[in-house]
Structure 1
Amino acid sequence: MDGFTQTGDVGEWQPNGALKIIDRKKNIFKLSQGEYVAVENLENIYGVLPEIDSIWVYGNSFESFLIAVINPNQQALENWAGQNGVTGSLAELCENAKTKEHFIAELAKAAKEKKLKGFEFVRAVHLDAVPFDMERDLITPTYKKKRPQMLKYYQGAIDALYKSSK
């Protein structure tokens, strides 16, 4: 096949001529304006934030923006809450509108630093105090996200985020 092998990976050519693998073909989707999103790449960028233990970024072809389900880092969240006069249990902090605004602002800051395109910014978040786990069939034994199962599990939260963000 002309020296190329089909692996199911998506790559981009680097200025030095090297090929950098940026995502799996099956983890790419299109938003309503036709932009393609390499979701795993975005999760790697956003996932390095100290406030985030785990993140699942989601979008679909009927919507124009991305949303995310986040497992916040408990210590970082409690420190932020203490400094900003926000009180409550971890679960209550996750439901707090001020907390969600803080996470969206942190994601936007990371997106700007990495020079992401506007459609790659996460516009709304659902915070889940319970880490993604195998008991709920959300991850594999090697901690890879099971995207179809996550969509099914978080469908109610996703629908609410898209509805309230319009």
Structure 2
Amino acid sequence: LLAHREERNRAANSVLSDVLQVLEGYGSTETCGAITSSMFGDLGGGHVGPPMPNCEIKLCNIEELDLVSSRDNRGEICCRGAVCTPGYYKNEELTKTLIDEDGWLHTGDVGTWLENNRLKIVDRRKHIFKLSQGEYVAPEKIEHIYAQSPYVHQIFVDGDALRSYPVAIVVPEGEALARALQDAESRGETLTPVASASGTADCNNNVAPSLTKRDSTHWSIRKNKTQNTTAPSGDSGTPGQSLPAQSEVFRLQNRDVTLAELCLYPEATKIILNDLHQLGRAADLKGFEQVRALFLIHESFSVENRLLTPIMKCARHAIRQRYQNELQKLFTSGELD
């Protein structure tokens, strides 16, 4: 039914589970199809089932992340069997990067075993990062959760081995954010845009505030969004079209403002952070997985600006390079919180 995108599978399950059973499987071009599949009668979801016949699967250690599969029950998913390709056509060097000397095909995906030999996909190996306290963070998982926010158009979560928390770059949903800011102003809050020397939002004002329950009217505008309407992380996925452009002008403080101007309000950052943290708690994110600081931008990730790949995935390295100064300031501001 659906492929490549875990969040789409979850959306399909939620919609279709009342009328039929949705089975989830896992595989790739190099495995000539599925190597795992959930079973009839297993309605739990959140996994891709046990291995298929004629296929061995194991989790391999990931040295750069200090992941030992026997200790952590987490590692790179490797498979072996008749379903696996013998290699790339006339490309021995590339084949060696795919298949090791013992015949195990390395998928590049990180997984963990659940009970009854069911496999759960965690993230891509090259996306996971380790925090300073030794915890591992899968950014794509966090992005999928945060993408449910009505204030998030696109989001990129990043971290560093020298820091104890992740941070995020967010392209806001202008219309929803403008309404929330108007609500805040109607409650007597003062809205004052803050600009740095570069004309962008001052990262020192993007630190997570103390979290309190927001007015229930904000929940009424929550949209049932999935990451296919944002820009998920990764390097592969279902091809698609660039996201539609947002309206260029919004109403705030009895005047027209642009999305770039909305991004300059510290209150906008607080509203979004509150919402993300509430979503994270509802999804049982651990404390170290919650972003501590945000940087708001008005330019959407796109293929044209090379912040999306041609198959509509976040170009993580390009985003990290483009916003390296902003990310560094976010880490610094988070430490001062």
Instruction: Report the TM-score, using the length of structure 2 for normalisation.
Output: 0.47
Secondary structure, aligned partner of 2:280: helix
Q: 1:147 aligns with which of 313, 316, 330?
A: 316
Whole-angstrom CA distance in 2 between matches of 1:95 and 1:154? 16
Matched letter for residue 299 of structure 2: V
- Higher mean alpha-carbon deviation, 10-19 vs 55-64, is at 10-19
Give me the whole-angstrom Cα distance separating, in 1, the residues matched to 2:291 and 2:265: 18
1:90 alignment counterpart: 259
**Which structure 1 residue ranges, 4+ long, deviate > 6 Å from structure 2?**
none
Q: Which structure features the higher share of helix residues?
A: 1
> Structure 1: which 5+ runs fail to align?
none
| Percent identity for Structure 1 against Structure 2 | 38
One-letter amino acid of the counterpart of residue 3, structure 1: E
Q: What is the alpha-carbon distance in structure 1 between the residues aligned to residue 292 and residue 116 of structure 2?
A: 34
How far does residue 14 in structure 1 lie from its aligned partner after superposition? 3.7
SS class of match (2:273) = helix
RMSD between superposed Cα atoms in Å: 1.6
Match of 1:165, SS? helix
- The partner residue of 1:132 within 298, 301, 304 is 301
The reply to whether residue 159 of structure 1 matches residue 328 of structure 2 is: yes
User: Which ranges in structure 2 are unaligned for 5 or more consecutive residues?
Assistant: 1-54, 58-78, 80-105, 186-190, 192-251
Q: Which deviates the most, 72-81 or 121-130?
A: 72-81
State how far apart, in whole Å, the 1-side matches of 2:168 and 2:314 are: 13
How far apart, CA to CA, are the structure 1 residues paired with 2:115 and 2:274? 31
In the TM superposition, residue 136 of structure 1 has moved relative to its aligned partner by: 2.3
What number of residue pairs does the alignment pair up? Answer: 165
Letter in 1 for 2:266: A
For 2:180 and 2:116, locate their aligned partners in 1 and report how far apart those are by CA, in whole Å. Answer: 41
Q: Tell me how far apart the structure 1 counterparts of residues 331 and 315 of structure 2 sit (CA, whole Å).
A: 21
Partner of 1:78, secondary structure, is helix
Cα contact 2:156–2:168 (8 A) shared by 1: yes
Counterpart residue identity of residue 82, structure 1: Q
What is the distance in 1 between the residues matched to 2:276 and 2:152? 10
Residues 20-77 of structure 1 deviation map (CA, whole Å, 9 limit, x = unaligned): 2121111101011111111111111111212111110010101111100011111111
Measured in 2, the distance between the counterparts of 1:15 and 1:70 equals: 36
Q: Does 1:20 align with 2:189?
A: no
Residue 30, structure 1, aligned to residue 154, structure 2? no
SS of the equivalent of 1:122 reads coil
Among candidates 46, 56, 69, match of residue 3 of structure 1: 56
Aligned to 2:181: 81
Find the structure with the greater CA-based Rg: 2
Taking the aligned partners of 1:10 and 1:55, their CA distance within structure 2 comes to 22
Distance of 2:172 and 2:116 partners within structure 1:
37
Q: Deviations over 1:82-131 (max 9, x none)?
A: 21124443212212111111111111101110111111001000111111
Secondary structure, counterpart of 1:99 in structure 2: helix
Normalized against structure 1, the TM-score is what?
0.92
CA distance in 1, matches of 2:298, 2:334: 22
Determine the structure 1 residue equivalent to 2:290: 121
For 1:37-76, list aligned pairs within 5 A: 37-76=137-176
